[in-house]
Chains A and B, each alone.
Chain A
């Protein structure tokens, strides 16, 4: 392969080792690279293609992606005997920006997706309230609404990184249990205020209308804070797989608590100790004790491009891009390393940068064709810094299963192949 090298000006463009670039240098460099690419490597001629010579398809009632994008899909697996129990993962590495398309939003269901008739669905608020209330979808839809762009992450996302060996899998299979959407609905506090919360109520038991009757206890402060009864997802009614016709939205909290197909909120003094908050979403430590009620997802980031399945074709300029998020608030900084954590460069954070939403980061990279290890490290506005995998395991042990937020690594081989590695 013929390599064309421009005169290097390392002081100006180099932001860290192994070719990481300052953003301005990347844009300037890209212009030069473009000029190089303009030299025709081979004759490919411009042609009038068939789709320009006959009218295209007529309108459809609901738009679909191009047939050439059929591979951009969720991947999933079911346990035996339990179809509908499992998870479908978002193809993070095939997407851009910070909002997840509704059809690609990850899904974790415990007993399939119920086919709920919205006219028959009811939301009951009861327990330690002055006035138990019932809402239909129609009555809820008449309340003042608001939107929150918020990520939802399954407590079990990235769980494979607790394992001893680095699993040979891509960003979707390893980290695809996180998505972000504009959720629109009614503030839960508005409804709870109308019901009249008794001061002895410290928890709200939220229950879904699915076959498993999924239920979790939520602290009253969160319920009265930024919680929503969400009715819309990215502008349209929430999809059945994400809780149609209504779900609980608890920005920043683990996904399992944001109960889908919400049908009941019971105000209680103490947690109900449901199966999901005892047997499941608890973090077992080496001493045999387990952490319970781990609500907020911690600061975390993942490089989505380049990543496995997106191999590098040739040495030269690339943009490293990925997603960062924190259940504690806004992302304030993402650093990227191309040399396995020996040196770091600060990435550009793309607007909008919202609290408890996915934030897109970008950084220029000149790959020299040699082996490299790509990592990202996020910091949130509370000052929380994403830990190394080793530090997380040292603190929590390797059997916590949930809430893995350690730094992940992609190895780049000289061939350009990208794989998941521990570094």
Chain B
């Protein structure tokens, strides 16, 4: 564990050095401003907002806002397929990469839907709706039950089927 005093000293030194080096034209950001701007969600769940949802609730959101692009059950017509292909990534034939088969973290589903979906009106869903539709997609992929609650505490703990499917690149790969 880091000594708080040592950390403070280190940061103070960093600040002093910075002021000496640069023009210093950036203004300080207030915590409330940062909170408004910061929409990212980490795999540890940091950044997830209050609220919750279940697949049963998410089905209505999906059918109202997602079905036109992703199909009745996430089969992906005409846009990205969201469901299926679990456990079938190996081989030579084209793989079905979906939320269930490929995405390693459930937090990414929440993060991406909240920032970018639906395509024609991103950021228009309430956080509760994003939780619910995330739960619905996980349910369609057989990852969670229809009435399992998805929220800031449970989402990071969900074991995605391809959680261990990624290796960091190294030269020669």
Residues of A within 8 A of B (CB): 79-82, 85, 110-111, 122, 124-126, 130-135, 139-140, 142-144, 190-191, 193-200, 205, 207, 211-213, 215, 263-264, 266, 268, 270, 272-275, 278-279, 282-284, 286-295, 395-399
Contact = CB atoms under 8 A, between A and B. Distances in A.
B168 A130 contact: no
Given A198-B11, A272-B42, A110 B116 contact: yes
- Interface pairs A-B: 5 shortest CB-CB: A288-B90, A133-B26, A213-B115, A288-B89, A196-B14
B69 to A, nearest CB: 5
A207 B37 CA distance: 10
A189 to B, nearest CB: 10
Contacts of B173: 283, 291, 294, 395-396
A139 B169 contact: no
Contacts of A142: 23, 25
Given A124-B34, A293-B169, A130 B42 contact: no
Contacts of B38: 124, 126, 264, 266
7 contacts: A133-B28, A194-B24, A211-B116, A273-B104, A279-B103, A283-B169, A399-B92
B17 interface: yes
Nearest to B173: A291
A405 to B, nearest CB: 13
A111 B169 contact: no
Interface residues of B, number: 60
Contact of A131 (B28, B97, B168): B28
B105 interface: yes
B89 A284 contact: yes
B19 interface: yes
Interface stretch (B51-59, B106-114, B132-140, B143-151): B106-114
Contact of A134 (B2, B33, B42, B112): B33
A275 B26 CA distance: 30
A312 B34 CA distance: 60
B153 interface: no
A142 to B, nearest CB: 6
B21 A399 contact: no
Contact of B22 (A124, A143, A279, A397): A143
Given A111-B119, A213-B116, A274-B108, A288 B29 contact: no
A143 B23 contact: yes
A113 B20 CA distance: 38
B106 to A, nearest CB: 10
A282 B22 CA distance: 37
Interface string B1-15: 010000100111011
Nearest to B99: A279
Given A124-B34, A142-B23, A196 B18 contact: yes
Contact of B43 (A110, A134, A213, A273): A273
Given A132-B34, A215-B115, A264-B38, A273 B78 contact: no
Contacts of A198: 7, 10-11, 14
Contacts of A295: 169
A132 B29 contact: yes
A194 B44 CA distance: 28
Contacts of B94: 399
Given A279-B97, A289-B165, A292-B168, A194 B18 contact: yes
A219 to B, nearest CB: 11
B105 A273 contact: yes
A205 B41 CA distance: 11
Contacts of B22: 143, 190-191, 193-194
A171 B90 CA distance: 31
